[in-house]
Each structure stands twice: as C-alpha cells, then as structure tokens.
Structure 1
Amino acid sequence: MTKISSKTVLITGGASGIGKLMGRQVLDRGGTLVIWDIDKFNLQHVLSEFKDIGEVYGYTIDIANTTWVQEIAKQVEEEIGPIDILINNAGIVFGGYFHENSLQQVDKTIKINAIAPMQLALIFLPGMLKRKQGHICNITSSAGLVANPKMAVYAGSKWAITGWSDSLRLEMKYLKTGIGVTTVTPYYINTGMFNGVKSRIPILDQYKVSKRIIKAIENNRIYLSMPWSMRLVRLAQGLFPIWFYDWFVGRIIGVYKTMDEFKGRKL
C-alpha cells in the first residue's frame, strides 16, 4: 500500500480536469499537494479554492521547457522538500491527419507527453531511491495501445510513454527499490481535451477516473485500463490478423472514426 497521508504529491497539469480532481483527493487524504500547470489563471483559482482544505503549493511552468523544469524542481525541493509521489498527468493533443501537423506541433506533443514525464522521473527518482520509497504514476492513454487516425502524433507520444512506464516498473522491481510505478491507460475522458469526439464506447467520467487513479496508486496497481474492455486490446491484436482487427475496431466498434469531428480544447 502507498499511503498519501503526510506525503508530498506533485501533479503536473493539476489546475484542471482530472489533475485538479486528483489534487482534491490528495488533500482530503492529508497529503501535501504540489501543482504544476502552464495556465496561471487556472492555477491561482485552484490554489484559492484549495487553500482551506490542506497544504497546497502551485507553480506556473511549461514542462516542455527542460531548463524551466530543472529550475522549478530545484525550487520545489528547497521550499517544500522531497517529492514522494509523482503523477505525470499533463498532456496535449492536436487533431488532424499526420501530414497536417506542423513541426512545432509534433515537437510540442512529444516533449509534453513523452519527454517531460521521463525528465521529471530522472529528477525526482534519485531521492526516492535514496529513501527506498516513492511512487510514480504515469497517465498515458488507450491511444498508447491502439493506433487511431487523426491522432498519429498523440498516439506515438502515448505509445512511447506507455512502454517507458512499464519498463521503469520492471527496473524498480528488479532492483528491489521499494518504488511503485503505475501506468494508466484510459479511453477518452470528458475533461474538454477531446471535445467533439464521437464514440460508441462510452466516454469516461472525469470524477470516476480521478478516484480510480488515486485508488490505483494507494493499492500499488501495475496497470489501470479504463474501461475494462481496454484490457482485451493486446489479446485481440495478438490473436487476430491485422485486417480483421482493423475491420472490427474500425468499422464495427467505430474507433477509427472517433476523431472525425474533433475540436479539442483551445490552447
């Protein structure tokens, strides 16, 4: 079990969506909350909302900027202390076919969704290793398991972070470090990030998702896939020919059409 009480928890993208909801649960459990977010207005609003609930700190930061990440991470450890639980939650998506993406969009997506979580782990992991305790939760996506048109760059970034996250878990287990790693692969969530998406599979409720993630951390779960049917993806990919898998997932379930009317959240 990973106890959140009296622990310091850092959540990236913690000023909105499931990041904010998880932060509230951290405070309700008696943890110290550190929020990183690029949106200064949202961050100040959340800090004001949470200040009477528990101990909370906020830092405005663009995690795509490596130098900034290093500076703020050092500032956090000097002002607050070591991070016990790291929740890599921040993410970004640009819709459209791959060839419609700009070089800047590709760069930003990979930096925020894949590189930043690795860099944050590199920064805070040494302290966890020294203390022989800690937990890293990486919120990826079902897009890290299923290829999908009009989100090629996003899927690529999530495939990268999903593979890294579970590899990190195996390393921590092999080295007997006492550090837990949880990989979360949710379907679309109703946070506004995927506005316009049409899906036959029900879109997940952000309140339920945030609760399940915190529970997964507390229970040291290795994998959390939502909905439960996402657990069958790898089995189906291994059992069936690609043409059949594409036909079933694309035409029967309709996954390959979900991004056709994507609008997303204004950045």
Structure 2
Amino acid sequence: MKDLKNKIVLITGGASGIGKIMARLMLERQSKVILWDINQENINNTLKEFSNYKTIYAYKVDVSNIENIKEQALKVKQDIGIVDVLINNAGIVVGKFFNTQTYADITKTMSINANGPMYVTVEFLSDMIHKNTGHICNIASSGGLISNPKMSVYAASKWAVIGWSDSLRLEMLQLKKNINITTIMPYYINTGMFNGVKSKIPILEPEATALTIIKSIEKNKRMVTIPGYIYRVTRLGQALMSVNMFDWFTGKVLGIYKTMEHFVGHKKA
C-alpha cells in the first residue's frame, strides 16, 4: 500500500467535481495538495472550504495552453517542490451529434481531454524519472471503451487517453523506472458534467468514485473501470459478438446508446 503522507500531489481540474473530493481525500492522508484549475471562483471557494488544512495550494491553469503549463509548473517546483503524484483529471464534454459540432468544439475537447494530460505530464515526468519514483493517474472514461452517439469527440479524446496512458505504463517498465501509471475509466458520474443523462446502469456517486481512484493509486493499480464489470462486459462482448449483436446488446439491452438523448451538461453562468 502506497503511503501518501507528505507526498506532493497535483490534481488538474482540482477545484470542482471529483477533483475537489480527491483533493480532500489526499489532505486527509496528510498529503501536500496542489490544485490546478481554470476557474478562479472555484479555486477561491475550494481554498476557503479547505482553510483548516495548511498544505493546500492552488494555481489558475489552462491545461490546453502549453506556455501556461510550463510557467505554472516552474512555479510549483520553485514554491513547493517536485511532484510525487500527478492526477490528470481536468476534462470537458460537448454532447451533441458530430455533424453539429464546430471546429472550436472539436479543438477544445481534444486539447483539454487528450492533449492536456500529455502536456502536463511532460512537465513533471522528467523529475520523476530523475528521482526514479512517482505516480501518474490519468482519468479517462468508460466512453473510451465503447462508442456512443452524441459523444463522438469526447469518446475520441478518452480513447486517446487510454492508449497513451497504458503505453506510458509499458514504457516505464521497459525503462526500468519505478513510476506507476494508473488509468481510470469511470462510467457517468453525478457531478453535473453529465446532467440530463438517463441510464439503466447506475450513475456513479462522486464520493465513492473519488475514493476508488485514491485507493487505486495507493494500491498501484494499472487499469481500473468503475464499476469494475464495465471492462469485462465491453471487452468480452466485443470479442465474442458480431458488430450487429454488440450494437443490439449495448443499445437495446444496456440502453447505453440512448443515454445522451436528454443531455444538458453544466448550466452556463
């Protein structure tokens, strides 16, 4: 079991949703927690809420902006130290049919969800390699395992994260580096990001999901779906069924292809 006491933990998208809960869980484990978030109001509110903790820090960062990442990563190293645990959690979703998505929708989704984790990891991985210790946890999605209408670009971004994250794990093994990589693939989480989604499969509760992620880091798990059966059902179904049968099973029996029909997402301010 990994001991997180006094470890420096950086969480992107850390001022809201499961990022905020993971921050609290890390603080309870006596970690030094760094929040990266693009929303200054959420940062301020989170720092106020966690004011009893003396080891929490926050920076306003756009994870799709390389220069911003470089600048803030340098500040983190100068102000606090070398990051021990990096949790790439920041993400967005645009839930509509692909033919109605704009260039901006596509670029923003891919930049934040797919490129962002890689950009951020580049800034901290070299230090982990030099120390020969560290942990990178990438929050992907079960949407990266299965196709779904009105999620085409989101699914593309999460398929990219899964492929990159697990390839990075194998690279660390080949380089004989003591750096753990955990890829998390949760189902829909009840944080507001997927407001309007209707599902036969139970939608995940944020607290339990965040705790599962933290425990996965502590146990050095490699690939984790939440709930656990999602990986087995999708991979086994895709291996044994024809495309038509899998579409019937996924669409009609599980109802997944209809989950986004009434999607509204976060309300815009």
After TM superposition, the score normalised by the length of structure 2 is 0.97
Unpaired segments of 5 or more residues in structure 1? none
Mapped contact 2:84–2:134 kept (Cα < 8 A): yes
Q: Take 1:27 and 1:252, find their aligned partners in 2: how far apart are those partners? A: 41
Aligned pairs for 1:24-35 within 5 A: 24-35=24-35
Which residue is equivalent to 1:99?
99
Q: Take 2:146 and 2:217, find their aligned partners in 1: how far apart are those partners? A: 24
Mapped contact 2:63–2:119 kept (Cα < 8 A): no
Note the C-alpha offset of 1:229.
2.1
Mapped contact 1:28–1:54 kept (Cα < 8 A): no
Q: Take 2:228 and 2:124, find their aligned partners in 1: how far apart are those partners? A: 31
Deviations 1:163-186 (A, max 9, x none): 100110111112220000000000
Q: Take 1:55 and 1:179, find their aligned partners in 2: how far apart are those partners? A: 24
Task: Indicate whether 1:4 and 2:21 are aligned.
Answer: no
Task: Indicate whether 1:198 and 2:198 are aligned.
Answer: yes
Which residue is equivalent to 1:85?
85
Deviations 1:13-68 (A, max 9, x none): 00011000000011111100000011101101111111212400001121111111
Aligned residues: 267
Identity %: 49
After TM superposition, the score normalised by the length of structure 1 is 0.98
Structure 2 counterpart of 1:123, one-letter code: E
Which residue is equivalent to 2:16?
16
Q: Report SS of the residue matched to 2:123.
A: helix
Which residue is equivalent to 2:248?
247
Structure 2 counterpart of 1:234, one-letter code: R
Deviations 1:191-248 (A, max 9, x none): 0000000000000010000001000000000111111221221121111111100011
Q: Take 2:68 and 2:228, find their aligned partners in 1: how far apart are those partners? A: 38
Q: Take 2:208 and 2:173, find their aligned partners in 1: how far apart are those partners? A: 29
Which residue is equivalent to 2:263?
262
Mapped contact 1:25–1:214 kept (Cα < 8 A): yes
Mapped contact 2:190–2:204 kept (Cα < 8 A): yes
Q: Take 1:55 and 1:262, find their aligned partners in 2: how far apart are those partners? A: 38
Q: Report SS of the residue matched to 1:87.
A: strand
* Greater than 3 Å deviation, 4+ residue runs: none
Aligned pairs for 1:114-125 within 5 A: 114-125=114-125
Which residue is equivalent to 2:64?
64
Mapped contact 1:114–1:157 kept (Cα < 8 A): yes
Q: Take 2:80 and 2:223, find their aligned partners in 1: how far apart are those partners? A: 30
Structure 2 counterpart of 1:204, one-letter code: L
Q: Take 1:167 and 1:51, find their aligned partners in 2: how far apart are those partners? A: 38
What is the CA RMSD across the aligned residues, in angstroms? Answer: 0.9
